[in-house]
Amino acid sequence: MFSSRNYSPAGVYAELGRDSDVRSADPHRLIVLLFEGAESAIAIARVHAEQGNHGERGTHISKAIDIISNGLKASLDIQQGGELAERLAALYDYMVSRLLWANIKNDIPTMDEVHGLLSEIHDAWNQIEPGKQQTR
């Protein structure tokens, strides 16, 4: 009847909350959730790297790479976004290559570099939130 996998109530609740966020989110919010997921995965990978837990570090770096490649980069519309979308695609490719390096070398500063880049783009994305009043 129940799976033999161990689930914590808090973990299940958090997962349900994320699922609900995704189902009810507009396209702008979905991108925000992708940024948050990638940044979180890198932060968790960093902790595991500091603790010498290489398996978990790799799992979370892989999650960040997946979100960047199959979420953020895949959501770009190169035809409509033009040069900006092309540059973001190249930056996402750079981030993926840096995360692969960070995983191979257990390189925490490189993880921090990618986290910082994601954070900057995330902040910029938040500034263009639909319905948010733009000030000049």
Question: Residue 117: inside a domain, yes or no?
Answer: yes
Q: Structural domain of residue 103, as residue ranges? A: 9-127
What is the model's pLDDT at position 44? 97
Structural contact between residues 61 and 98, judged by C-beta atoms closer than 8 angstroms: no
List all residues 6 or more positions away from 125 whose beta carbon is below 8 Å from its beta carbon: 28, 31, 32, 35
Does the residue 136 lie in any domain?
no
What one-character-per-residue DSSP string does 69-125 give?
IIIIITT--HHHHHHHHHHHHHHHHHHHHHHHHHHHHT-HHHHHHHHHHHHHHHHHH
Number of domains in the chain: 1
Q: What are phi and psi of 58, to 5 degrees?
A: -65, -40
Residue 34 falls inside a structural domain: yes
Residue 3 belongs to a domain: no
Q: Residue 65: count other Cβ atoms within 10 Å of its Cβ.
A: 21
Q: Does residue 135 lie in a domain region?
A: no
Tens of pLDDT, residue by residue, the chain (136 residues)? 333 444 444 444 445 455 556 566 688 999 999 999 999 999 999 999 999 999 999 999 999 999 999 999 999 999 999 999 999 999 999 999 999 999 999 999 999 999 999 999 999 999 987 776 555 4
Residue 2: per-residue pLDDT: 36
- 134 within domain boundaries: no
CATH code of 122's domain: 1.20.120.340
